[in-house]
Structure 1
Amino acid sequence: MMSGNLSAPGEPVLCAGLTPGFWKNHLRDWPEPYDPGELPLGWHPNNGQNTLVLEGGTLFNEYFTYRAGYFDDDPPASMLEVMQKEGYDDKYRLGAHAVAALLNATYFANMEGVSFGYTADEILSYWNLGHGPGGTDLESLKEFYMMLNQRGFD
């Protein structure tokens, strides 16, 4: 049992991920080319709105292909708007976790000693497949994205 390779060349790589809540509350940290949008003039946080409404921003369907029943809004929803959807509007919170996974893959792509574990292209390819690794449905895809996003980062 002691004959296994116990060597560890180089520094270990930390696997990290940040939740949709992090990305909704840290708009300045969004990696390029993604843009959460800008506050309209005169907006104030105490004006009775429950969600942050920004103008512009990267549209969800610029990166994620159309999937029947998901975000076929008119006008199209931004990535930030998708992350703010709840209940019937985002079954399983799939859209929120998909956006967070894409932001994470891009954010951690060039960070030394830290890895998200998947590239942005891989995150999008799972969306196109419609299921996570080993899964067969959209709920498995959400569980996969959520697992990656909830690993944290200190």
Structure 2
Amino acid sequence: MNQSTETTTNSPATSPASTNKPAGRIAFIQARWHAEIVDACRVSFLETLRRDRPGAFAVDVYDVPGAFEIPLLARRLARAGTYRAVVAAAFVVDGGIYRHDFVAQSVISGLMQAQMEADLPVLSAVLTPHRFHESAEHQAFFLDHFRLKGREVAAACLAVTAEPVPVAVAA
């Protein structure tokens, strides 16, 4: 497992008073199979955080070999008490042996279990296409799709880490 930190730029509006540190940390776990496609998700995720909540979060990026290794690390990071949320990204494709459905289901179940055990948001950008071929057309399509998923998982992450706002219900 490799780790790097990509800290968003702080701004006075989102930084705690008298410090120049982000208000929280997010862990981003990425599988390295089809890294160029998964990286598009991470880049889009980080750009969206910087645009929508500049300086709000530092993001620690963790590399794992494949999607199957994500849930254990997600659970460990969620339990550590360091993070406000954990985000997972992977691209699970059909390698011709019909194993991808098993892997994808196991990963999603593991992420849900980690979330429930740690009582911490664990978000998924783990995707399994119906069909994927190593053609330029499919590469381009899924690069764009993972950029979209990066923006979507960033928006979800910002929503679940925001302070809850009570909703008044008329009696």
Under a length normalisation based on structure 1, what TM-score does the superposition of the two structures give?
A: 0.27
More helix by share: 2
More strand by share: 2
After TM superposition, the score normalised by the length of structure 2 is 0.25
